Amino acid sequence: MARASTTEYTGVETATARSIGEWREVAGSRFVPLHVIGGPGFTGSIRWRIVEGTCLSEIAASAHRVLRTPALISPDDPKHYKITLQVEGTGLVAQDGRQSVLRPGDLAIYDTSRPYTLEFSGDVHCLVMAFPQDAFDVPESLIRRITAVRLSGDSGVGALISPFMRHLSENLDTLDGVAGMRILHSSLDLLTALVYAQLSEDQDHWGQTRQVEMRRLKLYIDAHLHEPDLNAVEVAKAHYMSVRQLQYLFRGEDLTVSGYIRSRRLEHCRMALSDPAQASLSILEIAQRWGFPDASHFSKVFRATYGITPRELRIARLGD
């Protein structure tokens, strides 16, 4: 059997295969173990480059199937998302009980940490971007909703992603240094936009998901208002999401994270200043109890919000 040939130049690697056995060697399990099935006369070629842990591959091959079965999945496997762009031919992607047929221009996302199937009934040309899950600013719970869903490349954000990915694959050798990292980050930002555009098409479901998530975030914030260092970074870290994703959720309610934290602290202070049971506490003690360590800053933001100083409010509600 002829061996697969592999060459490397300026950071870009290429490989060709003249049998399904060779294809298994050069392309079958480069990220995670896969089972690859193909018939006699199989041929395939692949070009790829890795930048900051993200791999962009251009694949041209004969008909074949790719199976990521439960038996092949290990907790130690790297966790990646893959997004594929169909350039020529048709393909089928299946995961999480869904399957979609992809035609030229279509995209789909799937998760290597769970079983999936790819099937190409004829010659295929596609682009695949594989990136670590923790590099993506979308919660895993939301990704599960759109795995193996056809994402149209003909309109909306998809119409931007398709040519962008094609351009990347045609210029792999230019993805060097800082410029390559910036281009990579831009591509992940576009993919984030594509995912949320798809999720927003189901407004009712997405709205319910957002409400549940926001309720959970607000409960956490209320429980930690007394901590002076409570901020967006700490909230995001506690919920295993990026700061960008946290801010995105709050923007959906015309809020900012810092603004919501401040408003909740001020409201608790306002109630405490009006409560006879807390009349023995000084204004500073109340402010510090709700996360305002500096008395002058507290007085300033309180007056800006309510049009009255903390002392004036207390006198008005409780008397001298």
Please name which of 93, 89, 83 lies closest in space to residue 148, comparing C-alpha atoms: 93
CB 58 within 8 A of CB 76: no
Distance CA 26, CA 13 (A): 11
Please name which of 58, 171, 67, 61 lies closest in space to residue 118, comparing C-alpha atoms: 67
pLDDT value for 201: 63
Distance CA 113, CA 100 (A): 19
What's the length of the chain? 320
Distance CA 111, CA 73 (A): 12
Q: Is the pTM of this model over 0.75?
A: no
Structure tokens at 62: 């004969």
pLDDT value for 4: 47
pLDDT value for 54: 86
Structure tokens at 197: 């555009």
Per-residue pLDDT of the chain (320 residues; tens, 9 = 90+): 334 444 433 488 899 999 999 998 888 777 788 999 998 999 999 998 888 788 889 999 999 999 999 999 998 888 899 999 999 999 999 999 899 999 998 999 999 999 999 999 999 999 999 988 888 777 787 888 889 999 887 877 788 888 888 888 788 887 877 777 778 778 888 888 888 777 766 554 445 566 777 888 888 998 999 898 999 999 988 887 788 888 888 887 788 999 999 999 999 999 889 888 888 999 999 999 999 999 899 999 999 999 999 999 898 888 76
Please name which of 4, 29, 27, 170 lies closest in space to residue 87, comparing C-alpha atoms: 170
pLDDT value for 211: 73
CB 19 within 8 A of CB 42: yes
pLDDT value for 7: 41
Q: List CB contacts of 303: < 8 A, sequence separation 6 or more.
A: 309
- For 153, left (φ over 0), alpha (ψ -120 to 50), or beta? alpha
pLDDT value for 241: 79
Give the chain's end-to-end CA distance (angstroms, integer). 96
pLDDT value for 257: 94
In the sheet with 80-88, reading across from the earlier edge strand, the strands are 5-9, 12-17, 44-51, 54-61, 124-132, 80-88, 107-111
